[in-house]
Amino acid sequence: MKMPDGTPISAPRGRSGLGRLALPHSFGPNLGPVEAFFAVMATLFRIFSACFFFAGWGGLSIFAWSSIGNRFWRAVAAPLLILLFVVGLGGLMLLITAIEKKIAPKLH
C-alpha cells in the first residue's frame, strides 16, 4: 500500500490487527480474562471513586464558601480549595494505582 505521494506505508510487522489499534497501555490485546477483569475493575473503581470524591469535595467547598462572610477571604479561599482538590484527587489516583499493583496479577 502506498501514500498519495507514492511513498510506501511501513506497517508494523508481527502484530495483529487489534495490536495496531491505539488502546490504553493497560488494555492491551493480549490480556487474558483475569487480567482484563482486573483492569476493568480498577478503571471502574477509579471512575466511581473520583466521582464520589468530586461530589464530596464540592459539597464541603460550598459549605466552606458560604461560611466565609468577607469577599476578600472568599477570593483567597477559592484557589486554595481548588489546589487542595487537585492534590487530593492525585493522591487518590496514586493510592488506587498502588492498591491495584498489590492485588492484581502481573499484567506483563
Break the chain down into helix, strand, coil percent, rounded to 5: 70, 0, 30
- Spatial distance between the Cα atoms of 59 and 46, rounded to a whole number of angstroms: 20
Show the DSSP H helices in 3-70 as ranges. 33-67
pLDDT at position 12 is 52
pLDDT at position 102 is 85
Distance of CA 10 to the CA centre of its chain: 32
- Closest by alpha carbon to 31, among 23, 100, 97? 23
Q: What does each C-alpha distance from 30 to 42, 56, 73 come to in angstroms?
A: 18, 38, 54
Contact between 42 and 100 under an 8 Å Cβ cutoff? The reply is yes
- Closest by alpha carbon to 46, among 5, 2, 104, 1? 104
Which tens digits make up the pLDDT trace of 10-21?
555 555 665 565
> What backbone torsions phi and psi does residue 55 show, to the nearest 5 degrees?
-65, -45
Which tens digits make up the pLDDT trace of 37-92?
888 888 899 999 999 999 999 999 999 989 998 999 999 999 999 999 999 999 99
pLDDT at position 34 is 81
Q: Which residue has better confidence, 50 or 26?
A: 50
Is a pLDDT exceeding 70 seen at residue 4?
no
